[in-house]
Amino acid sequence: MRVVCLTGMPGCGKEEALAVAQSLGFSIIRMGDVVREEANRRGLPITDAAVGGMANAERQTHGLGVWAERTLPRIRGDRVFVDGLRGRAELEVFRKAFGDDLVVVAVHASPKTRYDRMLRRQRRDDAASPEAFHARDVRELGWGLGDAIAMADIMLVNEGTLEEFRRQAKAALERLHG
């Protein structure tokens, strides 16, 4: 295996899975960094509405796989962990590029768990209200995020403690790459 793509709904625990992957020696590529760099280049504020709106507009203009296509040049070497897979079109871009060397890992947590975590972490681009949280979920599901999650090779359920999730993620990634 060469490339692992990570997917999941906002607030599900992807950052924790990334931290585990990094501790195991994976290089980390964040598709969200590509999106935020474009937002910065355009002078947009780094908020959910501005960044998500711009990302959505780019998908409408250039196709649902645009952010995967823009991320591909950053993926080099072995043991690469790509965060931010948001739909079937992006998955198809990565499958075409990496074939059997691609594994998709999905993280799942319930909407209540995810919203509570977002309230605690208070990231600048998090949804600021239950309505905004729901709107973000609907927007990302509209990009095909549910398809990407459903098509994952490995599913990590993150409803327990942080330590339980870290152990689960570590065990899954060690099975992939030893």
CATH 3.40.50.300 given to domain 3-177: yes
Q: What is the pLDDT of residue 48?
A: 79
Exposed, middle or buried: residue 135 (CB in 10 Å: 0-12, 13-18, 19+)?
middle
Interatomic CA distance for residues 124 and 47, integer angstroms:
6
Q: Is the pLDDT of residue 154 over 60?
A: yes
Q: What is the pLDDT of residue 155?
A: 97
Using DSSP's 3-state secondary structure scheme, residue 129 falls into coil
Q: What is the pLDDT of residue 177?
A: 65
Query: Mean pLDDT over residues 53-59, rounded?
Result: 93
Number of CB atoms found within 10 A of residue 1's CB: 17
Q: What is the DSSP string of 7-34?
A: EE-TTSSHHHHHHHHHHTT-EEEEHHHH
Q: What is the pLDDT of residue 129?
A: 86
List, for residues 68-125, the tens digit of each pLDDT value: 999 999 999 889 999 999 999 999 999 999 999 999 999 999 999 999 988 888 776 6
Q: Is the pLDDT of residue 128 over 80?
A: no
Return the minimum-mean-pLDDT range out of 4-8, 49-53, 153-157: 49-53
List, for residues 1-47, the tens digit of each pLDDT value: 589 999 999 999 999 999 999 999 999 999 999 999 999 999 999 88
Q: Is the pLDDT of residue 166 over 60?
A: yes
Q: What does pTM read for this prediction?
A: 0.90
Is the pLDDT higher at 128 or at 41? 41
Q: Is the pLDDT of residue 62 over 80?
A: yes
